[in-house]
Structure 1
Amino acid sequence: MEHTENIKMEAAKILLDIKAVTLNLEKPYRYTSGILSPIYCDNRLLMSYPEKLDKMIDYMLNLIITHIGINNIDVIGGTSTAGIPYAAILSERLNLPMIYLKKDKEEHGKYNKIEGVLKNNQRVLIVEDLISTGGSSFAAVETVREAGGIVNECIAIFTYELEKAGSVFSEGKCSLHTLTNFLVLMKVAEKERYVTQAEKEKALEWNKDTAGWAKKMGYE
């Protein structure tokens, strides 16, 4: 089964159905990267909906089989903390070892940035829940590479499709695969009446100019 537009729309609808996506034009959200945005996607809510989570995992497995290839993966690497649940389930489903990756070294114990066993030249699939600017996700890629692992692929549930993220992964020679994306999410949100056409247009304005949107709207 190819990863089709229909699957992208179904994945987006799941996120909308569990209210993982919120839109607030009056009081925008600030991302970890510092960007102000009228939209916030909290995929962590999936953990509380086992049937929806199971379907998302099926979609991720389909994406892995059709676009990456199971034989091209030796280890599943989850990003801490949001990517860990999905990485753990994928690891069990694929019968592959798992590691997880921290943003910073521990200040105690073994001072690890990688938990689990990673051997030289093992091929690691990075599992993330969400991609915004790509900075924190690609940091996980670099952590594995610095430890002697090989990373050519990263998979995530959702991407805001920001230009910066595309550049980060392209320049870092790592392919990014996502179940769904910002434009599909907005299309489904309007169709299912989660947002009005006017709200969708405002969100699209932000997506086209994330750097200038806050100033244009008078928030900065």
Structure 2
Amino acid sequence: MIPTSFPPRDEIARLTARALLEVGAVHFNSEEPFTLASGLPSPTYVDCRKLISFPRIRSTLMDFLAVTVMRDAGFEAFDNVAGGETAGIPFAALIAERLALPMTYVRKKPKGYGRGARIEGVMAEGERVLLVEDLTTDGGSKLSFVDAIRETGATCGHTAVIFYYGIYPETTEKLGAHGVALHHLCTWWDVLEEARAQGAFEADTLAEVESFLSDPRSWQAARTGG
């Protein structure tokens, strides 16, 4: 069903942050930092995949993402919704259902057999494709998916995510230079504000998280000798 309610952006951000905290998707640890895919340390980690196991939260956030995309990009802006392998696939399916559009997904790399395809499902030349993922940090992983979509002759000028780190200024610049607009529900700053409001973590931990969010490169360099 296509959602028709458009809550204010700040309320969407607050409720999304609250949902992530409620399902235990947010992890803060300043004493034993997490290791990111880049190999760099971070006192924060978010696991949006958990959301698929909570029907009420899942449904609410997908309504939020659908209305955010329609508000920002347009009601008739897309012909196809593509999920990025693997975390984006369930969310793409849910968004495609809400927008009444075909759904496809994009592999990280071609299959090693058969057609060697990166696009699964039906994507036609000239279609306007919305790329859906669970989150983005610096936007880098999105570019490979966008390029795979464009190789079919389709266009892809928008990507939608539940969670955007919001701490690396080059992210929107990198995506923008590639002709891609980013749509998101909340950032680490929204989560930090809600965590403080709830008293979800110790004050010292939240202070260290804020230090990281304010200058992640320096925080990481101080802990890696960089």
Q: Same fold (TM over 0.5)?
A: yes
* 2:65 paired with 1:60: yes
Number of residue pairs the alignment of both structures matches: 220
Are the counterparts in 2 of residues 35 and 211 from structure 1 also a CA contact under 8 Å?
Answer: no
CA drift of 1:211 comes to 2.7
Give secondary structure in 2 for the equivalent of 1:126. strand
Partner of residue 3, structure 2: none
Q: RMSD value over aligned CA atoms?
A: 1.6
CA drift of 1:113 comes to 0.9
Partner of residue 158, structure 2: 153
CA drift of 1:217 comes to 3.4
* 2:117 paired with 1:105: no
Could you list the structure 1 runs, at least 4 aligned residues long, displaced by more than 3 angstroms after superposition.
217-220
Gaps spanning 5+ residues in structure 1: where? none
Are the counterparts in 1 of residues 172 and 181 from structure 2 also a CA contact under 8 Å?
Answer: no
The 5 Å alignment of 1:1-220 reads 1-161=6-166, 162-217=168-223
Give secondary structure in 2 for the equivalent of 1:155. strand
Are the counterparts in 2 of residues 2 and 66 from structure 1 also a CA contact under 8 Å?
Answer: no
Aligned equivalents of 1:187, 1:83: Cα separation in 2:
26
CA drift of 1:218 comes to 5.4
Are the counterparts in 2 of residues 24 and 39 from structure 1 also a CA contact under 8 Å?
Answer: yes
Aligned equivalents of 1:26, 1:199: Cα separation in 2:
9
Are the counterparts in 2 of residues 77 and 126 from structure 1 also a CA contact under 8 Å?
Answer: yes
1:157-202 per-residue CA deviation (whole Å, 9 max, x = no partner) reads 0011122322221211211010111111111111111123432232
Aligned equivalents of 1:154, 1:179: Cα separation in 2:
12
* Aligned partner letter, 1:85: P
Q: 1:3 to 1:73 in 2, by over 3 A?
A: farther
